[in-house]
Amino acid sequence: MAQNPRTSETESAPTTGRNTRLSRRNYVRSFAAVATAATSLGVAGTAAATDDYEVIEAENQTITIDSGETWENKLIDMTTGQDVVITAHGSDWTIRNVGFRGENTSGTGSATFGVSDSGGSSTVENVYLGDGSDSRNGSSSGHGQTAFWVDPDHAGHIDFENVNIQGFADNAIYASAPGNAGGGTIHIDNSFAANCYVSHFRLATEGSKVTNSCVYVDDEGYQGRGIWAWAPGTVEVENCQLEMNGQNVAIDAGANGQGTTVVVSDTDYDETAGIGEHAGSNVQLEDDVGTSPDAYIPRGVPTSAEDAAAGVEN
């Protein structure tokens, strides 16, 4: 099982409630219940086929995706109160059209996805994790559930595209670990993250970047950093909206006494939340950087578990 190692560098503004809504916009529309007539599918848990996708009930199982495999059109039912862990390692795998229905209340403190690529190029696209997790945690430290954990051994490349992550009690995309190990790159594009703890997009390696994406934080959910860059960098941020409503830090650079570089262009960030530069880090503000962010869910990002599983475009 891929676990997210919790360390002391997860300091953040305190949690002040749950992500029940986003106050200025109705970002996530309500969705109808899905029929869950079930048949047993072994390690994948209890599942039922629909015309568009397979329904899998969370039963504390681990689902493994192998090199070259495409795992798609799945609706994961988290209303069971149990956990599910999806691991994808090897190389050249694809995770596509996956939606999680219901808040993760398992309290295991694991990572929902544990991923890496050994030297090729893999893809995560059209994934909905917008129902979040509660604040319980199964380990002795840390803050709870992580959405995506990128293994330190990651040495290839992973594209995250059209991903919606909200209300997780730990990082949304925790992808800084390869900075001191495998050195693989991450590209987060056309994605949305809101009201997660610690940080929303966390990167470290040269060639890793966040583009065409939005972060939203208010005073009604977890209040993690917008983007957190670790050593060695350089990390790029381009055409993003980082609306923090004065919470935490919009772009935070450096941790554990190690500095990094972040290059920011065509981006708006919350000036009150501001920019943090630690251990000699440098956040370079290039062309068209402003301080009037207006976060939104980018076109193509799923806004419900069902739409994600069915591959319906927003």
Which phi-psi region, left, alpha or beta, contains residue 216 (left: φ > 0; alpha: ψ -120 to 50)?
beta
Owning domain of residue 257: 38-310
Helix (H) or strand (E) holding 97: strand 94-101
Show the CA angle centred on residue 244, arms to residues 2 and 141, nearest 5°. Answer: 35
Is residue 105 situated within a structural domain? Answer: yes
Residue 25 inside a domain? The answer is no
Distance CA 52, CA 227 (A): 35
Distance from C-alpha of 78 to C-alpha of 83, rounded to nearest angstrom: 7
Domain assignment present for residue 217? The answer is: yes
Counting the structural domains of the chain, the total is: 1
Please give the structure tokens belonging to residue 86.
């999806």
**Structural domain includes residue 16:** no
Q: Rounded distance, CA 286 to CA 27, Å?
A: 30
AA identity, residue 56: I
Q: Over the stretch 270-307, which tens digit does the pLDDT of each residue have?
A: 999 999 999 999 999 999 999 999 999 999 999 999 99
Taking residue 282's Cβ as centre, other Cβ atoms within 10 Å add up to 14
Residue 112 lies in a domain: yes
- Looking at the domain assignment, is residue 191 inside a domain? yes
Residue 266 sits at the vertex; the CA angle it makes with 263 and 271, to the nearest 5 degrees, is 80
Which helix (H) or strand (E) segment holds residue 84: the answer is: strand 84-88
Say if 54 falls within a structural domain: yes
pLDDT at 143 (0 to 100): 67
pTM score, two decimals?
0.86
* Structure confidence at residue 313 (pLDDT): 82
Q: What per-residue confidence (pLDDT) applies to 308?
A: 98
pLDDT at 135: 87
183 phi-psi bin (left φ>0, alpha ψ -120 to 50, beta other): left
Mean pLDDT (10-residue bins), the chain, 314 residues: 35 33 30 29 42 93 98 98 97 98 95 98 98 76 84 98 97 97 98 97 98 96 96 98 98 97 98 98 97 98 98 88
Q: What is the pLDDT of residues 82-121, one digit of tens each?
A: 999 999 999 999 999 999 999 999 999 999 999 999 999 9
In a domain, 304, yes or no: yes
Radius of gyration of the chain measured on its C-alpha atoms: 18
Distance CA 173, CA 227 (A): 10
Helices assigned H by DSSP within the chain: 305-310
